[in-house]
Amino acid sequence: MRSLSYPLAGAVALLLAAPVPAQADLAVVGGQSVRAAEAPWAVALASRQRFGPARSGQFCGGAVVGQRTVLTAAHCLSREVLGTDVSEAKDLRVIYGRDDLRGVSGSELELRATWVNPDFDTETNEGDLAVLTLKDPLPHDSAIALAQAGDGVYRTGTPTAVYGWGDMFGNGTYSETLRAAGLVMMDDAQCERAYPGSAEGVYRRATMLCAGLPAGGRDACQGDSGGPLVARGRLVGLVSWGSGCAQPGHPGVYTRISAAIDKVKEHSVDVLKPAPPISPSEARSGRVTGGAGPVARKHGRQPASHAGRPARPKGRSHAVPPPPVPVRGQRPVSPPRGAAGQRSAGEHPRRPW
């Protein structure tokens, strides 16, 4: 692997030097707690019927881009994950503004319509996009702007942050509260070398991007699928797939929002206005506003080891059909990155197999 370029090295140093709240907890593998009000566009997808009552039935994430429009990953709504066709998942909800999934704060919103990209390729993972239309509108300021093509935030080394309620250590320990982890935008060539083509997928720079840290340690993980990757107050990606969680040399792969804007507009009931581009120098600066900035990692703790994780079946891009829900209290076995594994209160899809 080539040595870091100066902009990327500088961005990593910027993240590591950022102040950390005294009570920050590791989560989203190498992240920390975030209040729902700080990231109102980060929402949870839930189904108690299919994933149990614990944690409000959360199984994936999503991003609010309009008052009635939520984006998520296509594989989150697949039969392999839901155990049925999405049209039969009658209790599917979007959870908005809930600080703790064990509570009842915020709102659980019903869906009026779902659109799953028919061009989603389960072999390469290309086109991992779905658009959800809510029955009732969210507040106007809940939506996050879309980063369009040519925006400097897509430049290598730009500080980013990923948000979700997924596996905190890569060992099947899922979060009850929203977490975020600071990452940097990785070079397309690095991503192509990491994912040249295998049963995991194929990195396609035109429709995907990847973010992480060269040494690993921070990443999205199981249960974070469909959640937002944000840079400079703009949505740049949706959590899609990868190999392991927070592994060196294997950054997370995301659906590139700039490549999906036309499809999103076509299937949204809202009038969506992409954010005006910012310059590459602004993108590299790391100066961010609101809750969309990178989140520093709490020092002194490391993610759990990934040793012993079950091998991923070859030639698959999704989780196996979920077996019956296990006895409550049974400790779930963490699936490989990208799997729903078991349809239980503790098992949630992260990225397609």
Active site residues: 75, 128, 225
Q: How far apart are CA 230 and CA 232, in angstroms?
A: 7
3-class secondary-structure state, position 251: coil
**DSSP classification of residue 174:** B
Residue 60 pairs in a beta bridge with 45
3-class secondary-structure state, position 62: strand
- Show Cβ contacts of residue 181 under 8 Å, excluding neighbours closer than 6 positions: 27, 28, 29, 30, 31, 32, 161, 162, 218, 219, 220, 295, 297
- Of 352, 78, 100, nearest in space to 238 by CA: 352
How far from the centroid of its chain's Cα atoms is residue 337's Cα? 12
With vertex at residue 193, the alpha carbon angle to CA 187 and CA 198, rounded to the nearest 5 degrees, is 130
Q: How far apart are CA 237 and CA 231, in angstroms?
A: 9
- Of 304, 302, 305, 313, nearest in space to 336 by CA: 313
